[in-house]
Amino acid sequence: MKIRPGFKIIVMVILLKTAGPALGMDGGWYFTSTEIATAFRYQEQFGRRLRHPLKPSACSFGPSEFVASFHGKEFAAPCRFISETARDLKQILENGAALYLFPLDADHAHLAVPTELWAEKYRKLSIGEILPELLREPKLVALYHTAEHLAVAARIL
């Protein structure tokens, strides 16, 4: 596909217009890398790391499932979810996509499956039924949010 000559200028204008809040004019959503490092050290020393941590310790002793909960309802979750998430997080840290596992750096992920699979298998399930089934889905992917709060001026492009 050939890009029209004016396209790059339009994209740059859009980026500049949306970059304003990222440069510190937003009232506290974006932070420099130094501010994030300081906040991480503070939280590591004084703060609670996770609000509702999973407790997959049973996975260390051989079982293939552990007890998880969603909206107060417990369900059996696969240990494979824990091992694959841990692998992903390790890779994110090793690749430098995140420096810290905490809210200002690597905070959460969005889970996704192919649209056709969603329509066929998950669309009709209730909200309480989806997660227990989804965590067992071989085609499940996670889109991790990293550096979401890092000021644009501090991001590596």
> 134-156 pLDDT, tens per residue?
999 999 999 999 988 888 764 55
pTM: 0.72
Distance (Å, whole) CA 45 – CA 41: 6
Mean pLDDT of 4-10: 38
Name residue 144's beta-bridge partners.
109
Distance (Å, whole) CA 57 – CA 137: 22
Is residue 148 a contact partner of residue 98, using CB atoms and an 8 Å limit?
no
Residues 123, 127, 128, 134: is their CA dihedral positive or negative?
Answer: positive
Structure tokens of 71? 């909206």
